[in-house]
Structure 1
Amino acid sequence: MKRRTLMTGAVALTLAAAVPALALADTLDDIKARGTLRAAIDLGSPPFGMQDANMQPTGSEVESAKLLADHLGVKLEIVEVTSPNRIPFLLTGKADVVIASLSISEERKQVIDFADPHGVIQVIAAAPKGIEIKSLEDLKGKELATTRGTTNDKEATTQATESTIVRYDDDATLVTALVSGQNDIMVSAPQIMNAVNERRTADPLEAKIVLKVNPYAVGLRKGEDALKAAVNQWVADDLANGKLNEIYKRYNNVDLPAEMPKP
């Protein structure tokens, strides 16, 4: 049975903030001594993270994490997470960084630090052609499906205040609900809509309105200045040489902005 919950993203972040950050001397030194970068990645959020036909991790954030590991001169170890537990896994030391299309928000910045953005993601409302949505006013009284604890959840909650928000535990479950027709309107990313339409061919969704455009970045524990500087250098280098854009375009079919938005 598909699990859904009405727990808000704000509550999820409050719980995350309640988990004490580990007192680590220098995570960058630990990474290099260990010889591996433990990156928290959501493999249920195509095209950012998923599994290929051979059940191997793939996606734009998986490829980006490999670039970062190469930049640091270590191997990549993927720590599989879901959208709601990305930050708790980081705070409890189960991962060194989060690389999971983690949108930058003021709420999250109270709990963790962010490196410079290496990608962008839109928050859209999408529905089948037969449902007319031209503004937030058209969402009143409608049931909107989203993923709990994400910036999509936050925008749905704060902007569509007279709608019923149905929250799923991860993007994979959200996609399944939309494919099955359990829900017909979503607030999520265009990439999630594409994943739905690959399987919902008879009555595909289409983007109706854009609620927000968010930059996303690597998430780090607070106080990790050396690691943050190293990640920022990687972002600068691989944006300049086109490697990050090549990955983003391969999985999203569009280029990154010529100038990345400032968080």
Structure 2
Amino acid sequence: MLIDQRNTFGFAGTRRTFCASAALMLVGCAATRPDPRAGAIVELGSTGTLRAAINLGNPILANRGADGAPRGVSVDLAREAARRLGLAVELVQFNSAGSVVDAVRARTVDLAFVAIDPVRAADMEYTAPYVIIEGAYLVRNDSPLRRNEDVDRAGTRIAVGRGSAYDLFLTREIKSATLVRAATSPAVTDLFLSQNLEVAAGVKQQLEADAKRVGDVRLLPGRFMVIEQAIGVPKGRTSAQAWLGGFIEEMKASGFVAASLQRHGIEGAALAPARTAT
């Protein structure tokens, strides 16, 4: 049987030409694919500085050091993100989560460290969480309340920080009890005491510190909610969200977040799991 060598060589040549063309197309696609870092720099550094909202009302995320300067895991992450983007960083300090969300909405900050909540999603884009913390209830030692499930009853008044993640959560979930809002999360326990309320609600670590400070109070066992802390950016800044999403996953996987929590003496906050690929 004879084989037409010309057809064979012609097919091989055509195949080589096709493969070379395909390779060039792939290179071209790679060259034109948007660079998330470049897009993030545009969206986060429009003023020449990365303006990071730091919530000093949540001691898990940030507090003041002996020199009065902000410190904590959110501060460390803000500085590292700015370093990687080649931007100067401005730490814009707030005393409540509600004020942080207002600043994101007004676009007077470029990113914020906030709890994920569906209400806030109307105004911001989130990364996956980097730490998970717990919301707890505080009562007086002589309170008849023993379980979290006992709280939602008519006549029970719960002090909460206005605009906080647990305020938003309890606003949706509480059916019979009444919410009484403090101006900031650190003011919750003092409001609870001064107005003789039945319950104070907040971040467990904040309430534990308050219990030591004021005495004659106790936390109910367990938690009433899990709070997922993430980075948020103003709505529509999807390039920034994409880059920060990858940044946060790297910071979790590399041990950066865990080391920061340990360095700042934060207990009770769990490292969030890696994002599941979709």
Same fold flag (TM > 0.5): yes
C-alpha RMSD of the superposition: 2.6
- Secondary structure class of the residue paired with 1:66: helix
Q: 1:31-83: CA deviations, max 9, x gaps?
A: 45755310111223323222223221123322232232233233321112332
More displaced 10-residue stretch of structure 1: 232-241 or 170-179: 170-179
The structure with more radius of gyration: 2
Q: 1:149 aligns with which of 155, 159, 163?
A: 163
Q: How does 1:122-201 map to 2 (within 5 A)?
A: 122-131=134-143, 132-140=145-153, 141-178=155-192, 182-183=196-197, 185-200=199-214
**Structure 1 pair 169–147 and aligned structure 2 pair: CA distance change class (3 A):** same
- Specify the alignment match of 2:51 in structure 1: 38
**Offset of 1:194 from its aligned partner?**
2.5
- Specify the alignment match of 1:8 in structure 2: none
- Specify the alignment match of 2:32 in structure 1: none
Q: CA separation in 2, counterparts of 1:219 and 1:176?
A: 30
- Specify the alignment match of 2:3 in structure 1: none
**Structure 1 pair 182–246 and aligned structure 2 pair: CA distance change class (3 A):** farther
Q: CA separation in 1, counterparts of 2:128 and 2:203?
A: 21
Between Structure 1 and Structure 2, which shows a larger proportion of helix residues?
A: 2
- Secondary structure class of the residue paired with 1:91: helix
Q: TM-score, normalised by structure 1?
A: 0.77
- Specify the alignment match of 1:223 in structure 2: 236
Q: 1:121 aligns with which of 107, 129, 133?
A: 133
- Specify the alignment match of 2:8 in structure 1: none
Q: 2:261 aligns with which of 240, 248, 257?
A: 248
Q: 1:107 aligns with which of 109, 119, 138?
A: 119
Q: How does 1:52-63 map to 2 (within 5 A)?
A: 52-63=65-76
Report percent identity of matched pairs.
21
Q: CA separation in 2, counterparts of 1:258 and 1:115?
A: 12
Q: CA separation in 2, counterparts of 1:113 and 1:147?
A: 23
**Structure 1 pair 180–56 and aligned structure 2 pair: CA distance change class (3 A):** farther
Q: 1:94 aligns with which of 90, 104, 108?
A: 108
Aligned residues: 234
- Secondary structure class of the residue paired with 2:120: helix
Q: 1:117-158: CA deviations, max 9, x gaps?
A: 111122222223432321423441222111111221123233
